[in-house]
Amino acid sequence: MLKEFREFAMRGNVIDLAVAVVIGAAFTAIVNSLVDDLIMPLVGVLLGGVDFSSLAITLGDASITYGNFIQAIINFLIIAFVLFLIVRSINRLQDRLAEEEEEAPPEPAELSREERLLTDIRDLLKEK
């Protein structure tokens, strides 16, 4: 079982997935900083000094911080938009590559010795 697990873990797809998760986590940290440190303060200034992180409703002992939820939605929208742009770019690149492959005429296959002889015989028969 250990051998099978090692083979599974060393497959390219698993390693690619692990790299994607690490890069995704780093990207999430960048987006969180962008939203928390740049976008939300500007939105707060535009809305008259509202600090979204402090927006909350208190029900008894519980505090529902819906300002954090608003920030999480903005984070999600930014990440989704960036991923959309990346996937869109990759799809366009793949379409261009597919078009280039279609435009290139296929190279004629080299005729075998028998095919050349048959072609010569055919041509001689046409002449008669």
Task: Please say whether the beta carbons of 84 and 92 come within 8 A.
Answer: no
What's the pLDDT at 31?
86
In this structure, the number of other CB atoms found within 10 A of the CB of residue 35 comes to: 23
Ordered by start, the domain boundaries in the chain are: 2-105
Closest CA to 27 of 104, 106, 105, 82: 82
Q: What are the phi and psi torsion angles at 64 (to 5°)?
A: -95, 105
Closest CA to 75 of 20, 21, 34, 24: 34
Enumerate residue ranges in the chain where pLDDT < 70: 12, 104-106
What's the pLDDT at 92?
94
Q: Which amino acid is at 39?
A: I
What's the pLDDT at 122?
92
What's domain 2-105's architecture?
Orthogonal Bundle (1.10)
Q: Which amino acid is at 106?
A: P
pTM over cut 0.85: no
3-state secondary structure 88-110: HHHHHHHHHHHHHHHHCCCCCCC
Structure tokens at 76: 């999600």
What's the pLDDT at 88?
93
In this structure, the number of other CB atoms found within 10 A of the CB of residue 52 comes to: 21
What's the pLDDT at 12?
66
Cα gap 18→21, rounded to integer Å = 5
